[in-house]
Amino acid sequence: MPTMLEVRGLAHRYGSYAAVENLSFTVAEDELACIVGPSGCGKSTLLRCVAGLIKPTAGGVTLHGDPVDGVPADLAVVFQDYSRSLFPWLSVRGNVEFPLRTRVSNRTERRKRAEEALAWVGLEAAGSKYPWQLSGGMQQRVSIARALACKPALLLMDEPFASVDAQTRADLEDLLLRVRREHGSTVLLVTHDIDESVYLGDRVLVLSKSPASIVADLTVTLPAQRDQIATRGSARFVELRTEIARLLHDRPGAPPPPNAANSDALAAERFLAAEREEARQQSSH
Amino acid sequence: MSRLSGFTNRWLVFLTALVLWQLATAASDNVFFPTPWQIIHHGWSLWFTTADGGFGLSDSIFEDVLPSTARAVGGWAIAAAIGITLGAALGRSRTGMQYVEPLFAFFRALPSPALLPVFIGLIGIGSDMKLSLIAFSCIWPVLMNTVDGVRSVDSVKTDTARSFGTPRTQWVAMVVLPAALPKIFAGLRLSLSIAVILMVVSELVGESSGIGANLVDAKAAFDFLSMWAWIVLIGIIGYVLNLALLAVERRALRWQPTRAAVASAKQTTKAGG
Ligand SMILES: Nc1ncnc2c1ncn2[C@@H]1O[C@H](COP(=O)(O)OP(=O)(O)OP(=O)(O)O)[C@@H](O)[C@H]1O
Ligand SMILES: [Mg+2]
């Protein structure tokens, strides 16, 4: 299968703090790849580099052959924090139409695309509501519909189901699997939940503690059709999750923590670097 | 049910105060304090009685009330347009505000009535001066609130918009301004009350037309009945303008959850978890 995304030698530093170091992997077309790693290891940083939201300090990203410089046109991101990612002043339909304004010039066509995307996530009846009138799970479905409406070549998801309750989470996971089967989407999904990565992924990339680098690239040899109860109970599933858990926890630790004064200085430096970064991005917008 | 009782309660207090005022002023024979009934009656003859004694809008409506109100609303509208545009530009620029902040802080701290002589010196005593003074005084709350508002755009929304490759105009019109709108309206409401104050203050010297001018003239002529009538009129104008702005605001911000909805949502969360 042709390669959709290629990440090569990617590194990102906030000031002198290395969040991501020398990361390389590829994602094939139509593949759902999960990235799993401990909290704070640099998963979001990696995703933001891929999305072109921040510039990597070294290395590069190519999306179906084109180097990513700035935000690629045929890419969409679903953020963890749906309540902050949706625009509260737009109706549900308005939110889904938001990215389409530049992509579909005809109004009725745009409206149709939005309705279609809402139907994919089972929200055809909620179009004229405002986001705050929906439950958390429904709001995250709206942001998934908004991303899908763009028909992105690559869908990036940053812990998309981390802020909803367990039942909603299972529903959303199945919804993602169904939608991507129906539309043949390529997905790169970040999570810190080992079970979720195995349940959803065709492949699981395991990241080390900060600075993130890839410690394993596992192919999930589970039947394509997943089921919340049968799949999670299967021997192969348990084997895979145990293997990943071991990879995550038995790693020889990160370099010894610097002494307190030093780490204060480091934190301050990171903070300043982040401010500069933000200022740069604001001015570039 | 609770809405209705809230409504009657509010007006009940108002009516009680009015009745008490009526009783107190009727009991005293101080000419400085006419009864509300006399004031209303006098106001009627000032503004709703034509020269031949019949019912209709009087000359004073066209020569005093409307021009003054138009200046207040006009000056406020000019301030709103400049304040929002300039505020949005300054708020989104990284360095702009750093240069002008001390200057703005100084102007904002100046009590605008004190600037009346300056404006008279610069522009003279005409309508232009009044309009400029009102606009100048109204600009600061709108400007500062807009700067604040456009800076408060959430970082996740910024990332979301950027990740969709949102062009600049759409970014400003559909993300930055709506996000700033609640703050902008807060500034606009503050400015509106300032506009009414300055409407009166700007007419205290010079010509003898306009609401404020009539107010001082009546006072100078010991015509306390007229004086009170003009004061009541100013109150009514301020109240109605504020009401109109509130209606616009409610419409523009109808996407915001109502207080009742937020309260009930909190209740469900509490009950559910
Ligand atoms: N803007 C920033 N400025 C400075 N340091 C940052 C910034 N963003 C992240 N970091 C640091 O970089 C490291 C990686 O952050 P990142 O958000 O990429 O981790 P993550 O794996 O997504 O974490 P989480 O599981 O909490 O989402 C963290 O130690 C974090 O403190
Ligand atoms: Mg993260």
Decide: A45 in ligand 1 pocket, CB within 6 A.
yes
Show the domain range for A94: 79-151
A263 CA distance to ligand 2 middle (Å): 21
- Which residues of chain A make contact with B179, given a CB cutoff of 8 A? 89
Return the pLDDT at B273: 34
> Which ligand does the CA of A13 lie closest to?
1
Check whether residue A204 and residue A258 sit in a common domain. yes
How many angstroms does the Cα of residue A67 sit away from the middle of ligand 1? 24
Q: Please tell me whether residues A262 and A279 are part of one structural domain.
A: yes
Between B94, B164, B179, which is nearest A279 by CB? B94
Pairwise CB contact (< 8 Å): B256 & A98: no
Domain identity same for A278 and A140:
no
Q: Are residues A100 and A203 in the same domain?
A: no
| % residues pLDDT > 70 (chain A) | 90
Residue A67: Cβ-neighbour burial (10 angstroms; 0-12, 13-18, 19+):
exposed
* Domain-located, residue A87: yes
Q: Which residues in chain B have Cβ-Cβ distances shorter than 8 Å to A98? A: 164, 166, 174
Say yes or no for a CB contact (<8 Å) between A102 and B170. yes
In the β-sheet with A32-36, what is the strand arrangement from edge to edge? A75-78, A154-158, A187-191, A32-36, A203-207, A214-219
Cα nearest neighbour of A100 on chain B: B164
Residue A56 has pLDDT above 60, yes or no: yes
Q: Which ranges of A10-75 would DSSP assign to H, the alpha helix?
A: 43-50
Rounded average pLDDT over A11-35:
93
Domain count, chain A: 2
Report how far ligand 1's centroid is from the alpha carbon of B251 (Å). Answer: 40
Q: Both A36 and A168 in a single domain?
A: yes
Asked if the C-beta of B241 comes within 8 angstroms of chain A's C-beta atoms, the answer is no
- Between the CA of residue B209 and those of A52, B52, B122, B203, B212, what are the distances in Å? 64, 22, 21, 8, 8
Domain match, A158 and A267 both = yes
Q: Are residues A120 and A199 in the same domain?
A: no
- Considering A6-20, A181-195, B12-26, B69-83, the range whose residues carry the highest mean pLDDT is B69-83
Within-domain flag for A71: no
What is the rounded average pLDDT of the residues A245-272?
64
Q: Quickly state the pLDDT bin for A279 (edges 50, 70, 90).
A: low
Which domain-ending residue is among A93, A121, A151? Answer: A151
The answer to whether B152 faces chain A, any CB pair under 8 Å, is: no
Residue A239 shares a structural domain with residue A160: yes
Contact residues for B262 (Cβ-Cβ < 8 A; gap 6+) = none
Which of these, A75, A117, A124, lies nearest to A96 by C-alpha position?
Answer: A117
CATH code, domain with A159: 3.40.50
| Structural domain includes residue A102 | yes
A163 shares its domain with A118: no
Residue A200: pLDDT band (50, 70, 90) is very high
Pairing relationship of beta strands A66-67 and A58-63 according to DSSP bridges = antiparallel
- Domains, chain B, ranges and CATH? 34-254 (1.10.3720.10)
Using one digit for the tens of pLDDT, what is the confidence trace for A206-223? 998 878 888 999 999 999
- Tell if the CB–CB gap between B154 and A76 is shorter than 8 Å: no
The CA–CA distances, whole Å, from B18 to A169, A212, B21 equal 60, 73, 5
A145: which chain B residues are within 8 Å (Cβ-Cβ)?
Answer: none
pLDDT (0 to 100) of residue B267: 62
Residue of A nearest to B96 (CA): A283
Domain edge (last residue) among A131, A151, A171: A151
Mutation site for B-interface testing, chosen from A89, A91, A278 by largest number of B Cβ within 10 Å: A89
Q: How far, in Å, is the centroid of ligand 1 from the Cα of A26?
A: 22
Domain shared by A195 and A170, yes or no? yes
Per the model's pLDDT, the better-predicted residue between A17 and B269 turns out to be A17
**pLDDT tens, A40-53?**
889 999 999 999 99
- For a ligand 1 pocket test, name from A43, A207, A248, A275 the mutation site with the most ligand atoms within 8 angstroms of its C-beta: A43
- Regarding whether A174 and A141 lie in a shared domain, the answer is no
pLDDT beyond 80 at A158: yes
Q: Is the CB of A191 under 6 A from ligand 1?
A: no
Is pLDDT above 70 for A186? yes
Minimal C-alpha gap between B161 and chain A (Å): 8
Neighboring chain B residues of A88 at a CB cutoff of 8 Å: 255-256
User: Within a domain: residue A215?
Assistant: yes
pLDDT by residue (tens digit) across A106-124? 999 999 999 999 999 999 9
Question: Measured in angstroms, how far is the CA atom of residue B191 from the centroid of ligand 2?
Answer: 43
By C-alpha distance, the chain A residue nearest B265 is: A133
Written as tens digits, the pLDDT of chain B (273 aa) is 456 677 788 889 889 999 999 999 888 888 888 899 999 999 999 999 888 888 888 888 999 999 999 999 999 999 999 999 999 999 988 888 888 988 888 888 888 888 898 899 899 888 899 999 999 999 999 999 999 999 989 999 999 999 999 999 999 999 999 999 999 999 999 999 999 999 999 998 877 789 999 999 999 999 999 999 999 999 999 999 999 999 999 999 999 887 767 776 666 555 443
Whether residue A67 lies inside any domain: the answer is no
In angstroms, the CA B96 to CA B89 distance is 8
Last residue of a domain, one of A103, A121, A151: A151
**Model pLDDT, residue B204:** 86
**Residue B111 Cα, ligand 2 centroid: separation in angstroms?**
49
Q: Which two tokens stand for residue A210?
A: 């900060």
Q: What is residue A231's three-state secondary structure?
A: helix
A274 found inside a domain: yes
Residue A224 confidence (pLDDT): 86
Is residue A171 in a domain? yes
Task: Give, for ligand 1, the residue of A12, A44, A193, A281 to mutate: max count of ligand atoms closer than 8 Å to Cβ.
Answer: A44
Mutation to test the A interface, candidates B97, B98, B152, B160, most A Cβ within 10 Å = B160
Give the residue, B36 or A275, on which the prediction is more confident: B36
Q: Are A218 and A161 found together in one domain?
A: yes
Search chain B and give the residue with CA nearest A146.
Answer: B164
The interface pTM score, or ipTM, of the predicted complex is: 0.83
- Report residue A113 as tokens: 């695309």
Query: Which positions ≥6 away from A225 have C-beta within 8 Å?
Result: none
**Is A63 part of any domain?**
no
CB A22 within 8 A of CB A10: yes
